[in-house]
Structure 1
Amino acid sequence: MVFIGGAGNMAGAVIGGMVASGYPVDKIVATGRNQDKLKDFCSRTGVHGSTDNLAAIQNADVVVLSVKPQVMKALCETIASEVSARKPLVITLAAGIPLAAYQRWLGPGVPIVRAMPNTPALVGTGVTGLYAGEGVTNEHKSVATQMADAVGIAQWVEAESGIDQVIAVSGSGPAYYFQFMESMIDAAEKAGMDRADAERLTLQTALGAAKLAVAADVDVAQLKRNVMSPNGTTERAIKRFQEGGLPQLVEQAMGDCAARAAEMAKELDK
């Protein structure tokens, strides 16, 4: 398995997760342009390294593309001859680029999986949305699932447009929670709490709530009700959120996010 751009943050997190879960390090190659950074990454993880993308993929069954969307077309053009001839499984971690673009850049008949990981993958608690293009076999899907599971959980979608919904929920979702945490910290500080204490309590509360929600056998609505007592402090706070339109605002924001993801796909497909 070759990770082009493998010394970067996201691909590096995936590689680290795979190694930690027992994937053989001698079967992973990471490529990069910065020799010092690549050498340091390979020494830390034990994987092989290369600064030559075309040479690195010559015997690869799986090629993972992890470069910025703006340079993806140029990268694909440099490896297209090898990929179109052998047709390895290609997994792309880049946001926004539709399969149609990869098919033009790499040639017809190449099995391609779009993968949309989120930043919590960096700490092993990520979500990766996955969409399989034409020619992707069950074996290919198993490989992509194993890669995603190494840094969290995998979620396959049936239609490519489903990736936009994944972006709206989990791809961009961490920023929603960071925004809410930031607002809580600011409010606590304005109320007189030391900012460091406010941050410590807010982050631990967010962590605890998430762990409780994952472990519970009831939905989050019931967990919310479990914290609320009639005419109590939590009920008053929740009513303020609801009266202020928080549920509707979340729905609108996620709709905007998905719409922008679709717009970016069109822009990057030009």
Structure 2
Amino acid sequence: MLLDPSRVHLSSGHGSSRIPRFGAQPKAAEIIAASQARVSRLESGHVTARVIEVRLLLDAYGVTEQEVRSKLEELAKHSKNRGWWIEHAEHLRPDYVDHIALEDDATYIREWQPVMVPGLLQTPAYAEAVIAHGPNCMEPERAAQLVKVRVGRQAKIEEGGASYTAILWEPVLAQPLVNVETHREQLSAILEIGKRKNVTVQVLPFSAGILAGYSSALYSFSFDEEPTVEAVAMDNLRGTSVLEGAEDLAAYANAFDLLRSSALTPDASAKLIRGVLRSLKEDTS
């Protein structure tokens, strides 16, 4: 359950205080504006609820004893699992916060990107360029904060906390969205990151044809030792949508497997990236 009474031993004049079990996952997810996958992780004890989540759930389920509320909020506030992104949360969309939480909880992360370099691979300069010149006009300070969050997300991969597979369509590499110098730096970074044991980078070549349009950008997450897809996130202009229905998960897991089987091997992908990098250097020499 989300807030386990066995973790808090309190008593009052009326006997032991107990925390009620917090109902079905869809209802709890709706209350805290999160995905069912996060709720499942909370219930299993793999992650700890944030203070605001605790408050919302306590309110929704009628837990009014101040001693109990204060104790549970303190547990959430001082938990070692408290997300690094909390200090930025008030400036981020709730759906983006949920995406980051899923990413931070995951043991396996898979990503398909047909348009731009994945956020988990982006250099600060590339991230700044695509954020600042995106469809949502924003102040420089706001863009700088989002770049900082994007770089913070990468620590999960840098520390080996998850197995990460990224598939990029070849135009992402061959047709820069940013200035050439930034793009060259980005390609070099991809080659270096791709050398890590927990990272696999593959390129879907031009020759894949119509397959590249099979799916828009997607992220899939697994949370246990087995790489079973348990949540899929997809970006759109209005935010991030998280899919958790069994049929949706199966469809996108199959889509990713098809893309991966049609992509170049990691070694061939690195060779292609080095070739693009050489051509960019020649064009600017």
Q: TM-score, normalised by structure 1?
A: 0.28
The normalised TM-score by structure 2 is 0.27
Larger RCO, structure (CA 8 Å, separation 6 or more): 2
Which has the larger share of helix?
Answer: 1
